[in-house]
């Protein structure tokens, strides 16, 4: 009898110790994209694993595959992922659906006040933060200072699109494969439309009026897209409809471009002499403006979020807190180099003299990100948030369809007017099917 009791006690003891061990050492599945900053996070994460006794299973996927995979799992409450990497486009939409765990309670030591307000806004819905920023970006103008000096041009503090066209004309020399206007042409809501969206905003346009009616055939859209097609054909690289962010980045880094308006996050790469031939010849200016400066530079953040279907929320919170903290940024600075520190998320990064020294573009990046107000993206009022996107689920389809029409206009298959009329009709149809105005 005594033996039995002893045996029972041992079993209970063993079970409780196992339970404790499980609580201490959980395995989390994290889904992410294959960006340089994420690869650094993956490389440094054993430090968090050692400190907490937890383990991470990494699932690295292409951006669109990740979006589809994560949406399927979250919508069906599959519970496959404990942490997912999402963009500022998804954060408010998924937050509204209650698909994500609110992340307002990571503790005082997390220093929420240090997060740049525009970034925090971009990842919130109804005042609740649904994803914590890993890195954030806006867009600005990369230009070749050496070519500007040779041509006797001085870049203004706030260039306009008209000025950019004028400089592009002067700096294009096709015999040397040097192009003055290298912009995205590959169709897609996150490709050519990421450039065209903010440009339309700068020309005074908007995607929808306050009644959710598409505005694609209005004057600002016509002016902006005509400007884009004209200058891309005259001063852009050949085969521009195949060029997205990566292709233009390579063209600029190999000295083929004089002007490029794109993601501020590419600055670290362009400034790195190991990867870029123009590291010491490049300077930066804000994204061009035209009739307004509202929404002229885009806003994007890659952030970490926890699906409500996760069963390991506490451990997941511990990781997202670690990976987006000030300490993590310092860790990257010390271990990998300050130029590789995740940009655009915390004010303290830009107060750090070591970072500012390593990243001469820091001030312009900070201002671009801080000024990118997703709640006031256009000259005229709009019912949506988002600068280069509209934060509604239907936008992925709409943005890509419009992007394809504009790419067709760029390739000369249709006129700008025809492209915009077709885009307007397809957008009207999609919005009607989705039941707008809501």
d(CA 26, CA 53): 8
Q: In this chain, which stretch among 112-120, 200-208, 239-247, 278-286 interacts with other proteins, using CB under 8 A? A: 239-247
- Beta-carbon-side half-sphere exposure of residue 173 (alpha carbons within 13 Å): 8
Q: Which of 26, 41, 48, 81 binds other proteins (CB under 8 A)?
A: 81
How crowded is residue 338: how many other Cβ atoms within 10 Å of its Cβ?
21
Query: Residue 71 Cβ, how far from other proteins at the closest point, in Å?
Result: 10
How many residues of this chain bind other proteins (CB under 8 A)?
39
Using a 10 angstrom Cβ sphere, with 0-12 exposed, 13-18 middle and 19 or more buried, the burial of residue 428 is middle
CA distance 391 to 385: 6
Per-residue contact flags (x/-) with other proteins for residues 302 to 341, judged by CB under 8 A: ----------------------------------------
Answer yes or no whether residue 413 interacts with other proteins by CB under 8 A.
no
User: Could you say whether residue 98 binds other proteins (CB under 8 A)?
Assistant: no
Question: Which whole-number Å values give the CA distances from 28 to 156, 359, 431, in the listed order?
Answer: 49, 34, 39
Q: Which is nearer to other proteins, 208 or 300 (CB)?
A: 300
Instruction: Report the residue number, 77 or 174, with the smaller CB distance to other proteins.
Output: 77
Please give the distance of CA 430 from its chain centroid, rounded to a whole number: 25
CB of 368 to other proteins, least distance (A): 16
Residue number with CB closer to other proteins (250 or 434): 250
Under the binding rule (CB under 8 A), the answer on residue 146 touching other proteins is no
Question: How many residues are recorded in the chain?
Answer: 438
Which ranges constitute the DSSP H helices of 25-45?
A: 36-44
76 forms part of the interface with other proteins (CB under 8 A): yes
Q: Is 270 helix (H, G, I), strand (E, B) or coil?
A: helix
Question: Of 73 and 90, which has the nearer Cβ to other proteins?
Answer: 73
Max distance between CA atoms of the chain, in angstroms, equals: 99
Q: Does 77 bind other proteins (CB under 8 A)?
A: yes
Query: Per rule CB under 8 A, is residue 25 in the interface with other proteins?
Result: no
Q: Are strands 27-32 and 55-60 parallel, antiparallel or unpaired?
A: parallel
Report how far residue 341's alpha carbon sits from residue 395's, in angstroms, rounded to the nearest whole number.
Answer: 31
Query: Cβ closer to other proteins: 268 or 377?
Result: 268
Q: Measuring CA to CA, how many Å separate 403 from each of 3, 245, 395, 410, 411?
A: 76, 14, 11, 10, 12
Question: Residues 242-271 vs other proteins: string with x where CB under 8 A?
Answer: ---xxx-xx--xx--------x-xx--x--
Q: Nearest to residue 261, comparing CAs of 364, 375, 338, 149?
A: 364
| Residue 37: CB minimum distance to other proteins, A | 9
**Stretch of residues binding other proteins (CB under 8 A), selected from 29-37, 91-99, 286-294, 390-398:** 29-37
Applying CB under 8 A, does 151 fall inside the site for other proteins? Answer: no
Nearer to other proteins, 37 or 290 (CB): 37
Query: For 337, which DSSP code?
Result: -
The total of other beta-carbon atoms located within 10 Å of residue 40's CB is 19
Give CA 23 to chain center in angstroms.
35
Q: If DSSP codes are grouped into helix, strand and coil, which group holds residue 276?
A: coil
Of the candidate residues 10, 17, 18, 57, the single one contacting other proteins (CB under 8 A): 57
174 lines the binding site for other proteins (CB under 8 A) = no
Applying CB under 8 A, the residues found at the interface with other proteins are 29, 31, 33-36, 39, 42, 57-63, 65, 68-69, 72-73, 76-81, 190, 239, 245-247, 249-250, 253-254, 263, 265-266, 269
């Amino acid at each position: 009898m005594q033996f039995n009791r002893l045996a029972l006690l041992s079993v209970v003891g063993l079970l409780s110790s196992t339970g404790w061990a499980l609580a201490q050492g959980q395995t989390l599945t994290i889904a992410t994209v294959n960006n340089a900053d994420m690869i650094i996070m993956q490389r440094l994460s054993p430090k968090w694993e050692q400190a907490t006794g937890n383990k991470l299973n990494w699932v690295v996927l292409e951006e669109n595959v990740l979006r589809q995979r994560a949406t399927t799992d979250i919508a069906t409450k599959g519970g496959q992922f404990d942490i997912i990497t999402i963009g500022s486009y998804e954060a408010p939409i998924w937050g509204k659906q209650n698909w994500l765990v609110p992340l307002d309670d990571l503790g005082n030591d997390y220093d929420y006040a240090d997060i740049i307000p525009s970034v925090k806004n971009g990842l919130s819905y109804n005042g609740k933060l649904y994803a914590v920023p890993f890195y954030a970006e806006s867009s600005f103008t990369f230009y070749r200072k050496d070519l500007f000096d040779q041509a006797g041009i001085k870049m203004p503090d706030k260039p306009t699109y008209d000025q950019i066209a004028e400089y592009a004309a002067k700096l294009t020399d096709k015999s040397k494969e040097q192009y003055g206007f290298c912009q995205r042409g590959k169709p897609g809501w996150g490709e050519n439309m990421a450039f065209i969206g903010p440009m339309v905003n700068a020309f005074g346009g908007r995607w929808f009026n306050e009644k959710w009616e598409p505005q694609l055939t209005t004057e600002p859209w016509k002016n902006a897209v005509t400007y884009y097609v004209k200058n891309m054909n005259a001063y852009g690289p050949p085969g521009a409809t195949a060029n997205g962010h990566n292709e233009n980045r390579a063209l600029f880094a190999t000295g083929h471009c004089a002007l490029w308006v794109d993601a501020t996050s590419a600055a670290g790469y362009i400034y790195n002499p190991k990867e870029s031939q123009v590291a010491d010849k490049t300077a930066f200016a804000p994204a061009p403006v035209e009739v307004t400066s509202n929404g002229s530079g885009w806003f994007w953040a890659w952030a970490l979020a926890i699906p409500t279907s996760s069963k390991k929320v506490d451990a997941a919170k511990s990781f997202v807190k670690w990976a987006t903290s000030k300490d993590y940024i310092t860790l990257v600075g010390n271990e990998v180099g300050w130029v590789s520190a995740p940009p655009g998320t915390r004010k303290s990064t830009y107060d750090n003299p070591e970072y500012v020294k390593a990243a001469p573009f820091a001030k312009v990046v900070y201002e671009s990100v801080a000024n990118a107000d997703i709640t006031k993206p256009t000259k005229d009022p709009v019912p949506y948030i988002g600068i280069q996107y509209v934060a509604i689920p239907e936008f992925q389809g709409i943005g890509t369809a419009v992007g394809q029409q504009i790419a067709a206009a760029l390739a000369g298959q249709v006129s700008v007017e025809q492209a915009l009329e077709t885009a307007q009709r397809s957008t009207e149809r999609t919005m009607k099917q989705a039941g707008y105005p809501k």
